[in-house]
Chains A and B, each alone.
Chain A
Amino acid sequence: MPNGAVAHADPHGPASAAGFGAGGHDHAHHPALQHHFQTLDQQHEASTLGMWIFLVTEVMFFGGLLMAYLLYRVWYPEAWSEGSEELDIVLGGFNTVVLIGSSLTMAFGVRAAQTGEQKATVRWLLLTIGLGLTFLVVKGFEYYHKWELHHIPGPNFSFEGPHAAQVQIFLSLYFGLTGLHALHMIIGCAIMGVITWMAHKKRFTPEWYTPVELAGLYWHFVDIVWIFLFPLLYLVDRARQLS
């Protein structure tokens, strides 16, 4: 036959040796197995690969804004210094601790799902959501403060300083970067809510906990973005302010 393909009558012939179950089902399979996959393992590998590829797109998505940031930091160091000074290091630092903490609780949540500790999974996930919401509330306060000071770029922008125009660029990128990050946090919290509900309904077992794992990957990614945003936005030229 062309292409060397062999049609075989026995569905559990050479195919099984290769680890694939061809043909009809004469065995029960996990309820989470989708029918276009041969095995749960194949499905799990496909799902995690898919999430990693999605995270690649997210890296490039933030990358465009980071390129703009990089260029203007090189061009306008004084404006970057003045702009960064306007941001609250205490709140930013607190949020960094909160978010890294939420990554820890998320990692524990995945681990609990791996070991079949269902109630612990729910607790860790709830804690993660709580920390995520804390982050967002603090961010909300920061944004509100900026709005009060007329530091939001646009027609109502007003800033006292010799480099006000370029500080507006800095703040545009601040709101662009942290706003995009916050949007990802909100979506993350919503996803975590769904996952927590599924965990509460005892959907996860050590054989299948893929959604928890995928949500974990996404959550850690959002944490990593903030790990970069904090020094890039809040810690520019702070030494000068002491002198």
Chain B
Amino acid sequence: MTTTVLPRVNYLNVRHTLASWLFTKDHKRIGLMYLVVVTAAFALGGVFAAGVRIELTTPEGDFVSADTYNRLFTMHGVAMVFFVLIPAVPAILGNFVLPLMIGAKDVAFPKINLLSWYVFVIGFVFTLAAMAFGGVDTGWTFYTPYSTQFSNSSVMLTGIGIFITGFSSILTGLNFMVTIHRMRAPGMTWFRMPLFVWALYATSIVQILGTPVIAITVGMLALERALGFGIFDPRLGGDPVLFQHLFWFYSHPAVYIMILPPMGVISEVIACFSRKPVFGYSFVAFSSLAIAIFGFLVWAHHLFVAGISPYSAMVFSFLSFAVAIPSAVKTFNWTATLYKGAIWWQAPMIWVFGFLGLFLVGGLTGLFLASLGLDVHLHDTYFVVAHFHYIMVGGAIMGYFSGLHYWWPKMTGKMYSNSAATFAAVLVFVGFNLTFFPQFILGYLGMPRRYHVYAEEFQVLNVMSTAGASLLGVGYTLIASYLIHSVFRGRAAGDNPWGATGLEWETQSPPIPENFDETPIVTGGAYEYTKRGAKVA
């Protein structure tokens, strides 16, 4: 039942002062505050990417110097990994939706939630300062001994920024884990929880176990660079590869922080827009936990050609194949969810289809890289770049946009134009493939990554890639435009414009500050679509 006007009192208008936002403890406001910072970081990372792609349009190094190019791709990576991909779905969508989904008034520790936002912003400020001083040129991976002894760039500042931001991720994970354990409404057993909640729980496990390790590793890097402590210094007998082990112990599970929440989004959206429960609910739920745990066992596949023992490499190669299995389980189950469903083509669902195809390609190409023999040839080529962009942009970012479009009416109370959203989704899909598919071929042909010059025969594919990147830029800008437009001019969306199941859809849009008038009591499972009638018009 749609209403024609917005509800009178909601979390957005209950108080208007700046202080009421900056000192809020409301998880919904905190989610929006993250949206602002993450979007800024996304734009910044996009600008750096533009610099990279413009340089790569020609084989010569004629746009920027090699040193500047190193800084461009490094800052692109730092901004996108730490300030977009890691926080986007958990800190924006998770913060907003999780308490609503489980029937709670807020997360377990609202003040810590606000603190985690401030920590995030402070880390971002340090990193921006580093960028203002010329940025870092080591690659976002900061390998020693270049980063500790030879790089003449803002390694310390960026390191401090990343160290601080890591705590934001830890605090969010801690908060979500306790919230899910202790704040569920009466009747919401573990197996009645929506799959997005399972995904956030699994993500929290990774955030809690992994992030401290990169924190201490960056700390050791800083001690070595600033004070001359020799832990990775080969002149003293230290091992630079130890840095790589410690760095990737976090950074590989980190990619599961980036993909698990969007996978949770996909489960929610695919159920709603197929009008069916997700096929194999418990398998999907357990596969999230399996990915989180197995994800900690595979990190040295980033070190295959770094000089580790071949026997160790075989172990990690085997484990890297194994970690693909739970992801495959999800993909099969989502596909089975579509079968005999009543597909409703709205914007969130279009992003889902984009995700399904692109995540599949990205995931399968990961297996190519997990094969030792192939990796010897493909490591540090554009094949790797294409692989992770398929997962992170084709997978994680598309999952994020699916969720943003799905819950936007709940967050703002307004509906955006579905035709504009459809057009943007298709534009991004086309632009994405044009940008990154040629990079698989380039990598296979041998073009190395992180080089600002390349052999002439690679130019055509590079030009295609740059053209695709331009389309991506247009598409993302379009999304920002119509979403912002909807806030001011969109029609009121009503409590449940999608006719979706889920506790978050049973309260008003936008919700009241306490989320629910009365604590809901849950008596059924998460996706009881078979009990619903025809889709909402």
Contact = CB atoms under 8 A, between A and B. Distances in A.
User: Are A and B subunits of one complex?
Assistant: yes
Given A23-B519, A165-B237, A172-B231, 4 more contacts: A7-B518, A14-B521, A166-B236, A175-B229
Contact of A3 (B215, B227, B524): B524
A183 to B, nearest CB: 11
Contacts of A54: 174
Nearest to A48: B178
Contacts of A63: 212-213, 216
A46 B183 contact: yes
B161 to A, nearest CB: 18
Contact of B211 (A15, A57, A62, A175): A57
B138 interface: no
A2 B506 contact: yes
B503 A5 contact: yes
B236 A168 contact: yes
Residue among A18, A64, A180 having the largest count of chain B Cβ atoms under 10 Å: A64
Nearest to B179: A46
B182 interface: yes
A210 to B, nearest CB: 13
Interface of B: 103-110, 170, 174-175, 177-178, 181-183, 186-187, 208-213, 215-217, 220, 223-224, 227-231, 233, 235-239, 242, 245-246, 249, 501-503, 505-506, 517-526, 528, 531-532
Contact of A36 (B104, B230, B238): B104
Contacts of B235: 165
Contacts of A50: 108-109, 174-175, 178
Contacts of B525: 4
A104 interface: no
Contacts of A172: 223-224, 229-231
Report the 4 A-B pairs with minimum CB-CB distance, sorted nearest first. A4-B524, A64-B216, A154-B228, A61-B212
A224 interface: no
Contacts of A22: 518-519
A22 B521 CA distance: 10
A65 interface: yes
Given A20-B519, A60-B212, A71-B242, A15 B186 contact: yes
21 contacts: A2-B501, A2-B531, A5-B503, A6-B520, A15-B519, A15-B521, A18-B187, A18-B521, A20-B519, A42-B182, A46-B183, A50-B178, A57-B211, A60-B208, A60-B212, A61-B213, A64-B249, A67-B246, A165-B230, A169-B237, A176-B231
B528 A58 contact: no
A205 B216 CA distance: 38
Interface residues of A, number: 54
B142 to A, nearest CB: 14
Most-contacted residue by chain B among A11, A20, A46, A75 (CB, 10 A):
A46
A35 B238 CA distance: 53
A5 B223 CA distance: 55
A155 B224 CA distance: 11
A197 interface: no
B506 A3 contact: yes
Contacts of B528: 2-4
A39 to B, nearest CB: 11
A91 interface: no
A67 B215 CA distance: 14
A141 interface: no
B220 A64 contact: yes
Contact of B186 (A18, A35, A165, A180): A18
A153 B242 contact: no
Nearest to A45: B182
Contacts of B236: 165-166, 168-169
Contacts of B242: 67-68, 71
A6 B177 CA distance: 26
Nearest to B245: A67
A1 interface: yes
Contacts of A8: 518, 521
A200 B228 CA distance: 45
B212 A3 contact: no
A2 B532 contact: yes
B223 A176 contact: yes
A57 B170 contact: yes
Interface in A15-62: 15, 18, 20, 22-23, 35-36, 38, 42, 45-46, 49-50, 53-54, 56-58, 60-62
B258 to A, nearest CB: 19
A173 interface: yes
Nearest to A6: B521
Nearest to B204: A53
B520 A5 contact: yes
A48 B337 CA distance: 39
Nearest to B209: A60
- Most chain A CB within a 10 A radius of its CB, from B213, B217, B230, B501: B230
A40 to B, nearest CB: 13
A144 B309 CA distance: 41
Nearest to A2: B501
A147 interface: no
The residue in B177, B217, B519 that gathers the most chain A C-beta atoms within 10 A of its C-beta is B519
Nearest to B499: A2
Contacts of A94: none
Given A20-B186, A50-B108, A165-B237, A61 B228 contact: no
A60 B519 CA distance: 37
B492 to A, nearest CB: 21
A188 B523 CA distance: 45
B169 to A, nearest CB: 10
A152 to B, nearest CB: 8
Given A3-B503, A154-B227, A56 B209 contact: yes
Given A65-B216, A71-B239, A53 B178 contact: yes
Given A67-B246, A175-B229, A62 B216 contact: yes
A7 B228 contact: no
A14 B186 contact: yes
Given A20-B519, A168-B236, A155 B183 contact: no
